[in-house]
Amino acid sequence: MPLTDVLLPSSCRCPSTTSTAQPPTASFSNRSSKGQQLLPSSLAPLALALTLSSPFPSLAIPPPIPQTSALLPPSTPTTPYSQSKNFQTGLDNGKIRPCPSINPGCISTNPKSSSFAFPWTIPVNSVESAVQRLKDAIQKTQKNAKIKVDEETPDGHYLQAEVDGGFGRDIMEFLIKRDVVAYRAMATKVTYIYPFTTAFGDSKGQEERVNKIIQELGWYAPRFDTMDDAPSVESMEFMD
């Protein structure tokens, strides 16, 4: 009998010799031929638990990333140079501020300053006109002086003036209370020489500036070079 006359059983499905062999593929169908789910709903929690506890990295679910972390700005390192760009002025709890530790071009009557200066004492006959006389002396002795703040506060009369300095504009602050004048004279620009992080300069320029004002006024200004020029107890309490 010829081979072509041989009938094959209907259950045998032999692949054609002319067709290209296809690699086996996995089927992830979740339904059987009868339309029923292969995975009962009662086994779903068990399958999820096995997936989460799987030792294979590819099956592990990464933890959620907090959204707040993306909103936080990057931290900026604080350096002496960055601090020198934002010197605070004005009264601090009703008192003249001390000199910043990174600014050598400064003197202040605040006892916390490294470059300390004694406050002035106003003569009795000049107390009532002390504010106006001080403004006139600033305008007369300083270059391009401008009074920026002139106000009465519960802690005394506060004056702030801008004047020409060695590297820009300097700031002078005064607090007149009764017969005592507390003050601070400060350069607004600090010079650094690379690669050093210590500011270059000293307070001599500010001392000369203040001396010109006190000489114009003729008021009493204690000095360190004379022992008998120590400030009064009232002046020290006023500075603290």
pLDDT for the residue numbered 123 = 96
What distance in Å separates the CA atoms of residue 96 and residue 90, rounded to the nearest whole number? 7
Per the CB < 8 A criterion, the answer to whether 39 and 30 are in contact is yes
pLDDT for the residue numbered 11 = 47
Which parts of the chain register pLDDT below 50? 1-21, 24-39, 48, 50, 54, 58-59, 68-70, 80-81, 84, 227, 233
Residue reference for tokens 């679910």: 61
pLDDT for the residue numbered 165 = 85
Domain annotation for the chain: domains and CATH numbers = 96-235 (3.30.310)
- Mean pLDDT score of the chain, rounded to an integer? 73
The 10s digit of each residue's pLDDT in 125-156 is: 999 999 999 999 999 999 999 999 999 999 99
What distance in Å separates the CA atoms of residue 104 and residue 187, rounded to the nearest whole number? 9
pLDDT for the residue numbered 200 = 52
